[in-house]
Each structure stands twice: as C-alpha cells, then as structure tokens.
Amino acid sequence: MEKNAEKKRIVLVPFPLQGHITPMMQLGQALNLKGFSITVALGDSNRVSSTQHFPGFQFVTIPETIPLSQHEALGVVEFVVTLNKTSETSFKDCIAHLLLQHGNDIACIIYDELMYFSEATAKDLRIPSVIFTTGSATNHVCSCILSKLNAEKFLIDMEDPEVQNKVVENLHPLKYKDLPTSGMGPLERFLEICAEVVNKRTASAVIINTSSCLESSSLSWLKQELSIPVYPLGPLHITTSANFSLLEEDRNCIEWLNKQKPRSVIYISVGSIAHMETKEVLEMAWGLYNSNQRFLWVIRPGTESMPVEVSKIVSERGCIVKWAPQNEVLVHPAVGGFWSHCGWNSTLESIVEGVPMICRPFNGEQKLNAMYIESVWRVGVLLQGEVERGGVERAVKRLIVDDEGVGMRERALVLKEKLNASVRSGGSSYNALDELVHYLEAEYI
Ligand code: UDX
C-alpha cells in the first residue's frame, strides 16, 4: 500500500447507466486496493441502494438532478445535456458537504466524461480532477475529430463515397464513415456533446478502460493530441471483482450451461439499454433453431416481447434469462460464441475470455467497436442489414461450426493472453495504474 495514498479519499462520479457504472466501480476498487478511500456520488438515489458488494465505500446522492427514468424519453444526447445543466449546483453542495465531513482529505474527483459538470466544482473548490473515459480510446479519438467538424458540411461531405471511404489521417483503418454518429440524434446536438466531452477544462489527466495491445495507434494519437497525461489501465474487470449489477442476475443459466457440450452455446445479450424489435427476435430465434446450436438469451424485463412460436423453440434448444452473470457465462467452457451489441464492456469481456463474437451493433460507438472486432482484431463477424433467419444461421455456423470460427477463436485467445499480460506486474496497464496512483499522491501533496 502506498504510504501517501493511505486514507486519502477519491470521489467518483459515474454516469448512471450500467455500462458506465460498472467500469467506474472497478476503477474505485482498483484504487481502493492501492490504499485510497472511495466515495461514490450518484445522481439517482435508487442506484445508491445497489451497494452491497462495496462495504468499504461511501455512497452519496447528488440531489435534485434529472431522474434516470427520463433517459428513454429524452434519448441519450438530450439526457446528457439536461443532466449536466441540472446537476452543477447540487453537486457543488454535495462536495462541500463531503469536505466538511472528511476535512480536506479529498485527493481527487474522478468523473465519467459524460458528467462534465463535475469540473466546475473541482475547480471552484480547488480539488484536482481526472476524467474517466469508460469507452474505447478510438471512440475518444472520434469525439475529438467530431468536435471540430461543422455538422452541415460534414453531412454534405458524407454523401460523397470518396469522403466516406477516406482514412482518417494517421488513424488507419478508421474511415470517415466509421465516425460514430448514427443513432445519436441530430448531428449538430451530438457534436455539441463531443465538444463538451473533449474539452478537458482544468482536469489534469484522462483514464481510459483499454489496453495498449488493443488500441496502440489511437492511444498514441491521444497522447499527442491531449496536453494532459493519458492512463490506459484496462481492462479493469480482469483484476477487480466489482459487481454493481442493477438487475438481479439469474444464476440458473449456469446450471443449464453445465449440461451443454463444450463450445456449443451461443450467448446472446444486447447490454443494458438496447432492445430489439419483435420481428427481429422471431427471425433470430428461427435462425438459431435452424443452426442446430444451443443458445442462452438475455431478454431484459420490459424489452423485446417473445412471440409464442419463439417460446416453443426456446424451450427445446435454448435458455432465456432476464439478466445473466455475464462474466461467468463467458468464461464457461460450454460457450462457443457471443451475439453482442458490441458495447465496450461486453467487447472487452468477450475478448478477455477468448470468445468470438457475432456483432449486431445498434448505434454509433457500438458500430465502431464492431468494425474493430471484425476488421482489426478479426475475432468476430458483423451482421449487417435486416436480421433474417438465413443470415443468422450462416453467422452462427461461421462462428461455431466452420474453420473460420476456429481462426477467430485462436486470435481471440492470443489477445486474451496479451490482455492478461498487460494487467500483470510490468505490463502496460499495470504500469499505467501505478503511474496514476503516483500522480494522485503527488497531486495531493
Ligand atoms: C452502454 C453503451 O450502450 C455502450 O455502447 C457503451 O460502451 C457503454 O455504455 P451497455 O449497452 O449496457 O453500455 O453495454 P456494455 O458496455 O456491454 O455493458 C453492459 C454490461 O452489463 C457489461 O458489463 C455486462 O457484463 C453486463 N451484463 C449484460 C450483465 O452483467 N448481464 C447481462 O445479462 C447483460
């Protein structure tokens, strides 16, 4: 345990959705193991109740912010804008209260890049601040590029196939068409968010949940572009066990997996936000059925509905749960592939277990991850266009039955080794975490 860090407090400000809270809690656990005390400030009091796995952590609510229930109604971009507008004052009160409670032992505020309102409080109260990017480094690069574009001109330019296929300078293989804008609402509004996210204000460093073995060129680009240190210290879930599941995990699926043959099961999950149309669900179910493979399917409560025909098929060849213990599922020997929406956490979790993927991304950043999975790391197949049973069947066979899938698995296993090495003593992510800790100690002194 680092002497200077002993008992010094870090305040974490996660964005209140599962895919963002999880890596922030993992970061909290990693810093806690290095000797820091952790306070988590959440804008939604309901979320504060899911704290049973973090007995040493303090949880506080940022009062009077926009309720999370507005997220679906507003869409993510408007939700982020409104959340940032409504939270600044109450966050300052919250931190001022913490300072009274803990004396002056707050070493740093680490906030999710989408919680950029936090910076004003850090500056006013003279507390060092660090930004945490929970998505990929490449996505952050894209935000930097997008923040400089003019929406109207970009839309016109993108009608030209030559522009679409142009490689972004120094960022091979990233092309302009890969910039993650689709499904993010009006482009102009989205670019405003990108500008907020890349504006580092007075923050003194950026943490990214990635490893240099996955995204070396994007990380080099960021290290040159940003005038503050960048710490790629992921994948955090390898070394931490932080589980902040907002839904109850159904562990019966592990018993079901125990009864299946090695590498025979396709695991299907579209993360914590996306949902599929009923028509897609039906086509998927038939495609899976026709592929002769077993499947474990996560269908969250209140999302896609399951037609009666599908239920019949499923009871024969599949298992459906409302929420799965995903990391345990991915490590299970029966799992041969992952049908994923390619959220960044799911992407990392799958690669870390050497599981190849069928990529079915929903919007911007997920499409970017899918492009990397298929074309850069070559550990998955991208399913484009409308979902129809024939395409689903072919994709499943390519992954689980054909030699092509064997190659993907081999490459995924090589990446798995590299990722594990990066978080072990002397590895790049291990060193990045150490450097961050030294930096936080120095900042505080
Ligand atoms: C959101 C965005 O959609 C995603 O693109 C971004 O990268 C992070 O924020 P989400 O859609 O929830 O995240 O996807 P993902 O990043 O994959 O995170 C989902 C998390 O939920 C993973 O850690 C996964 O292990 C967990 N999960 C998912 C479960 O524990 N059980 C499940 O049944 C499904």
**For a pLDDT cut of 70, what percent of the chain falls above it?**
95
Residues 6 or more apart whose Cβ sits within 8 Å of residue 432: 231, 232, 233
The helix/strand/coil state of 327 is helix
Please give the distance, rounded to the nearest whole angstrom, from the Cα atom of residue 176 to the centre of ligand 1: 26
> What mean pLDDT comes out for the span 288-317?
86
pLDDT surpasses 70 at 48: no
Contact 344, 134 (CB under 8 A): yes
Q: At what angle do helices 428-444 and 18-33 cross, to 10 degrees?
A: 70
Please give the distance, rounded to the nearest whole angstrom, from the Cα atom of residue 343 to the centre of ligand 1: 6
pLDDT surpasses 90 at 296: yes
Which of 420, 422, 338 is CA-nearest to residue 379?
A: 338
Task: Report the alpha-carbon distance of residue 82 to residue 76 in Å, rounded.
Answer: 10
178 lines ligand 1 (CB under 6 A): no
Lowest mean per-residue pLDDT among 71-80, 343-352, 374-383 = 71-80
Nearest CA, atom 8, ligand 1: 19
Nearest CA, atom 18, ligand 1: 19
> What mean pLDDT comes out for the span 291-309?
87
Please give the distance, rounded to the nearest whole angstrom, from the Cα atom of residue 15 to the centre of ligand 1: 13
Upper half-sphere CA count for residue 287 (Cβ side, 13 Å): 23
**What are the CA-CA distances from residue 124 to residues 6, 89, 129, 305, 441 (Å)?**
25, 11, 11, 49, 21
Res 416: pLDDT: 97
pLDDT surpasses 70 at 6: no
Token pair recorded at residue 260? 């299946």
Task: Report the alpha-carbon distance of residue 280 to residue 293 in Å, rounded.
Answer: 18
Q: Mean pLDDT score of the chain, rounded to an integer?
A: 92
Nearest CA, atom 23, ligand 1: 345
- Confidence bin at 1 (pLDDT 50/70/90): very low
List residues bridging with 232 in a β-sheet: 208
Return the H-helix or E-strand segment holding 139. helix 137-147
Q: At what angle do helices 137-147 and 364-371 cross, to 10 degrees?
A: 130
Query: Residue 342 corresponds to which amino acid?
Result: C
Q: Return the percent helix, strand and coil in the chain, to nearest 5.
A: 50, 15, 35
19 lines ligand 1 (CB under 6 A): yes
298 lines ligand 1 (CB under 6 A): yes
Token pair recorded at residue 193? 């968010």
Select from 272, 327, 365 the residue to mutate for testing ligand 1; criterion: most ligand atoms less than 8 Å from CB: 272
> What mean pLDDT comes out for the span 412-432?
98
**What are the CA-CA distances from residue 246 to residues 33, 49, 300 (Å)?**
23, 9, 12
pLDDT in tens, 151-176: 999 999 999 999 999 999 888 889 99
pLDDT in tens, 180-221: 998 888 999 999 999 999 999 999 999 999 999 999 999 999
Return the H-helix or E-strand segment holding 255. helix 252-258
Task: Report the alpha-carbon distance of residue 285 to residue 304 in Å, rounded.
Answer: 12
Residue in this structure with the two tokens 């092509």, named with its chain if needed: 404
Nearest CA, atom 30, ligand 1: 326
Residue 327 CA, closest ligand 1 atom number? 25
Please give the distance, rounded to the nearest whole angstrom, from the Cα atom of residue 270 to the centre of ligand 1: 7
Query: Residue 72 corresponds to which amino acid?
Result: E
Contact 206, 131 (CB under 8 A): yes
Contact 57, 46 (CB under 8 A): no
Upper half-sphere CA count for residue 236 (Cβ side, 13 Å): 31
ipTM above 0.90, yes or no: yes
Residues 6 or more apart whose Cβ sits within 8 Å of residue 259: none
**What are the CA-CA distances from residue 60 to residues 11, 43, 46 (Å)?**
10, 9, 11
pLDDT surpasses 60 at 105: yes
**Residue count (the chain):** 445
Q: Within 10 Å of residue 87's Cβ, how many Cβ atoms? A: 24
Token pair recorded at residue 182? 């689709």
Please give the distance, rounded to the nearest whole angstrom, from the Cα atom of residue 261 to the centre of ligand 1: 26
Q: At what angle do helices 344-352 and 403-423 cross, to 10 degrees?
A: 100
